[in-house]
Amino acid sequence: MKKESRTFYLLLILIGLSSLAFKFPDFKAPEMPPYVKYRLSKLPLIGRFVEPPPPPEKEYLETKQLMEELSRARADRYAPELYSQIQKKWKRAEEYYHTGHYDWAEIYFDKIRKLSQEALSKARTIREKKKKAALAVLKKMRSSYESHKKKLPFEKRLKIELVLWRLETLIELEEFDLFATEAQEAQKNYHL
């Protein structure tokens, strides 16, 4: 009877413990950082068992398009400080992306996106201001030319019209510095 009573008490204790919802803690393997997975997947024998993390291709392509948009918007000319910061971050992000540090690359892609939006808006506003100022100068020169056009000889009118056309072309090409110097020369030479 002693054995049976021991077994009975042991059963009661086990049932009591299970009713208290006692569970052994789940031991999970620690999550490996993406770079460790990437490096392990490149090893000859271990690489079969370790799946590399997926590269953030979408973010990479979006950021690359932003960089191209910055160069088209001439951010290097109109927002040089921001553009140089973005270039440094882009080089570092590309380096991280190609070496498998995808988590760091994503962080830099986010930073680049924020800075590039700021640089684009700054470049656009500066370009528009310079263009408006140049168009105002050109309009003033044209009105001055139109006011005394009839008094001038044909050759001088032709030269002035060519100069005005050149200035208009410089505005279209967004060469505002060259426009400013040539406009000053035209004002001196032709009294516009």
Q: Is the pLDDT of residue 14 over 90?
A: no
23 DSSP assignment: -
d(CA 53, CA 100): 9
Q: Which of 139, 131, 149 is nearest to 190 (CA)?
A: 149
Say if CB 67 and CB 90 are below 8 A apart. Answer: yes
Q: pLDDT tens digit string along 140-185? A: 999 999 998 888 899 999 999 999 999 999 999 999 999 999 999 9
**What is the tens place of the pLDDT at every residue in 50-98?**
888 889 999 999 999 999 999 999 999 999 999 999 999 999 999 999 9
Q: How many Å is the Cα radius of gyration of the chain?
A: 36
Are residues 55 and 99 in contact, defined by beta-carbon separation less than 8 angstroms?
no
Query: What is the pLDDT, as a whole number, of residue 34?
Result: 81
pLDDT value for 51: 83
CB atoms within 10 A of CB 30: 5
CA distance 119 to 122: 5
pLDDT digits (tens, 9 = 90+) for 109-138: 999 999 999 999 999 999 999 999 999 999
**pLDDT, tens digit (0-9, with 9 covering 90-100), for 17-48:** 665 555 555 555 567 788 888 888 888 888 88
Would you say the pTM of this structure is higher than 0.75? no
Residues in the chain: 192
